[in-house]
Amino acid sequence: AQSVTQLDSQVPVFEEAPVELRCNYSSSVSVYLFWYVQYPNQGLQLLLKYLSGSTLVESINGFEAEFNKSQTSFHLRKPSVHISDTAEYFCAGGRTKTSYDKVIFGPGTSLSVIP
Amino acid sequence: ETGVTQTPRHLVMGMTNKKSLKCEQHLGHNAMYWYKQSAKKPLELMFVYNFKEQTENNSVPSRFSPECPNSSHLFLHLHTLQPEDSALYLCASSQGRFGKANEKLFFGSGTQLSVL
């Protein structure tokens, strides 16, 4: 079955500390990988995506994720978090088929940045 | 502001009520989606419309009835819901190129539905 797994449901971290949010995918779902962020009382917003090419992708607000095919992972990292990074983070994967495809989301990781 | 607007933001309804959720986008997108977000569960895709045609119905109970009158508007009609249907219902849109799973999804803020 196609699946995207996020092993940590909650991650507390102190402000200015580094953080890694883990994501693993089943090989059947991986062609495209995404990280979406959901701030309180808002919808999801695309943070970054891997489509092809360089395995390291970056967002404009300091997050980066690395596509690792051998480990079937797409972990999200930030070297120094801010209070404003407190949010729910969703990993997602998609695969193009002959019919219109859908993106499969993981269960989400709640990042809490502690002052 | 993502360009996708959902109304109402909050909705409380009884099990015998009939209500509708509305989604509107002015991004020029051709694909629109309904997702269900329950606590601690992955987002569940409910319906996909591409160029106003329903291309995905993810085994959703018939008490949920979608309607897409044009590429900019999407409705979710609700009737005789159950308490377990309480959740955040998210609308999303994308450019809508057939067969492309690499499209960025633009989400609305959702409607928080409580079924009593």
Maximal CA-CA distance, chain A:
49
A12-63: pLDDT as tens digits = 999 999 999 999 998 766 678 999 999 988 889 999 998 878 888 888 889 9
Q: In 3-state terms, chain B is what percent helix, strand and coil (to 5)?
A: 5, 55, 40
Strand partners, B114: B12
Peptide bond into B83 cis (omega under 30): no
| Whole-angstrom distance, CA of residue B40 vs CA of residue A38 | 13
Put simply, the answer to whether A32 touches B4 (Cβ < 8 Å) is no
Q: Which residues in chain A are contacts of B50 at CB distance < 8 A? A: 100
Cα A103 from chain centroid?
13
Q: Are B90 and B37 in contact (CB under 8 A)?
A: yes
Q: Which residues in chain A are contacts of B43 at CB distance < 8 A? A: 44, 90, 105
**Host H or E run for residue A110:** strand A109-114
| Whole-angstrom distance, CA of residue A26 vs CA of residue A12 | 27
Q: 3-state DSSP call for residue B84?
A: helix
Q: Which residues in chain B are contacts of A7 at CB distance < 8 A? A: none
Compare CB distances from B99 to A41, A96, A103 and report the shortest one's residue.
A96
- CA dihedral sign, ordered B65, A36, A88, A101: positive
B11-60: pLDDT as tens digits = 999 888 899 999 999 899 988 999 999 987 888 889 888 877 777 777 89
Pairing status of strand B10-13 against strand B111-115: parallel
Backbone angles phi, psi at B57, to 5 degrees: -135, 105
4-63 in chain A: CB under 8 A from chain B:
4, 9, 31-32, 36, 41-46, 49, 51
Structure confidence at residue A55 (pLDDT): 87
A87-100: pLDDT as tens digits = 999 999 887 654 44
| B69: Cα within 13 Å, side-chain hemisphere | 7
